[in-house]
Amino acid sequence: MTDIHIRTVGQTGRITLTRPKALNALSYQMCLEIEKALDGWAEDDAVKMLVIDAEGDRAFCAGGDIQEMYDTAKAGNYDYGRTFWRDEYRMNAKMFEFPKPVASFLQGFTMGGGVGVGCHGSHRVVGDTCQISMPEVAIGLIPDVGGTYILGKSPDHLGEYLGLTAARLDAGDAIFAGFADYYIPETDWPALIAQLEETGDHSLIDAAATPAPDGKIASHLSAINAHFAGSTLLDIVNSLKSDESEFASKTLKTLGRNSPLSMACTVELVRRARAFQSIRPALEQEFRFTYRSGEHGEFIEGIRAAIIDKDRSPQWQHGLDEPPLAMVTKMLMPLGADKLNFD
């Protein structure tokens, strides 16, 4: 059994992630295979649309497989992670720019790298088990794989809130925030996918969709706007501290667990992405951070605490009350000859 099943079925190009025991975590090789398939199908007249799904009921894709990234960075070899991210982001751009309809069926956890595969297509389908999030700030990274582009297009200041808190989106909130397009009960997915394979007719998705149940986060939008409109992370933190509400208290507690450096950079990246009209400049900005994350950031410590030792007690370099503005500038400076390109 391989980690991914790529084939042509009927009039569709089909991608199925096949690592359900690993929550379909995305490996470097899987990224390369997806990119190869996208290149082949883009000009294939026999392929009318793409359909992407995953095995198992717990996750579409719970993120990138970062064990080797950690191992190599810990040993002082930062090139492996940089190569992984460079190639992954190129694939993300090709998914976003694919010239035919792309339908993705996102059950359970869709997080981090899974967003880069499943949330850049034209027809993003969710159901009742949906839990979409960008949790990277908890491990010393930033919402990447084009995540800042989606967050930048979320309503009002919801993007900053989601990027800093890693809040999980149910179906209604995923559609409201711009990570998904359609709500269809998951029991209906197999028959719908079979029809898509047979006909290549993406309008069948529109016909099958029903209104999504009301989300949970959207009801907090006024509070989110009140606190997350600040220019910097410190402005956001101070605003939350001035509010004695349960929402503010819970949000502050959440922020206190995450990397202040990552959150401060995330605020800046989401703000920049808001002005972009395509995904490429957002990916190029994200790469500035991830390129430096092993050598100069807190990626190694974040992974140690969350994945390796599992003590959930990362020793961040900076405090929440003193976000490192100078380091934000350093982490997001242009990379010169090392910048991300899409060739």
- The Cα 1–Cα 23 span in angstroms is 15
Residue type (1 letter), 208: A
Please name which of 154, 148, 156 lies closest in space to residue 267, comparing C-alpha atoms: 148
Q: How confident is the model at residue 324 (pLDDT cuts 50, 70, 90)?
A: confident
Q: How confident is the model at residue 228 (pLDDT cuts 50, 70, 90)?
A: very high
DSSP-assigned letter for residue 212 = P
Domains of the chain: total: 1
191 lies in a domain? Answer: yes
Q: At residue 1, does pLDDT exceed 70?
A: no
Determine the average pLDDT of the residues in 186-211: 98
Q: Which residues of 49-71 are buried (b: 16+ CB within 10 A; e: fewer)?
A: bbbbbbbbebbbbbbbbbeebbe
Residues 271-320 have pLDDT tens digits of 999 999 999 999 999 999 999 999 999 999 999 999 899 998 999 999 99
Percentage with pLDDT > 70 across the chain: 100
> What's the pTM value of the predicted model, to 2 decimals?
0.96
278 lies in a domain? Answer: yes
Half-sphere exposure of 15 (CA within 13 A, CB side): 28
What order of strands is seen across the sheet that includes strand 4-9? 4-9, 12-17, 49-54, 102-106, 123-126, 182-183
**pLDDT in the model for residue 288:** 98
Q: How confident is the model at residue 93 (pLDDT cuts 50, 70, 90)?
A: very high
Is 280 buried (19+), middle (13-18) or exposed (0-12) by CB count in 10 A?
Answer: buried
Q: How confident is the model at residue 263 (pLDDT cuts 50, 70, 90)?
A: very high
Longest dimension (CA), the chain: 59
Q: At residue 22, does pLDDT exceed 70?
A: yes
Percentage with pLDDT > 90 across the chain: 94
**pLDDT in the model for residue 211:** 96
Range of the domain at 197: 4-338
Residues 164-188 have pLDDT tens digits of 999 999 999 999 999 999 999 999 9
Determine the average pLDDT of the residues in 242-268: 97
343 lies in a domain? Answer: no
**pLDDT in the model for residue 321:** 86
How high is the mean pLDDT of the chain? 96
Q: What is the CATH number of the domain that holds 189?
A: 3.90.226.10
Q: At residue 221, does pLDDT exceed 90?
A: yes
Torsion of CA 80, 82, 88, 92, to 10 degrees: 180
Residues 132-171 have pLDDT tens digits of 999 999 999 999 999 999 999 999 999 999 999 999 999 9
**pLDDT in the model for residue 134:** 97
Q: How confident is the model at residue 194 (pLDDT cuts 50, 70, 90)?
A: very high
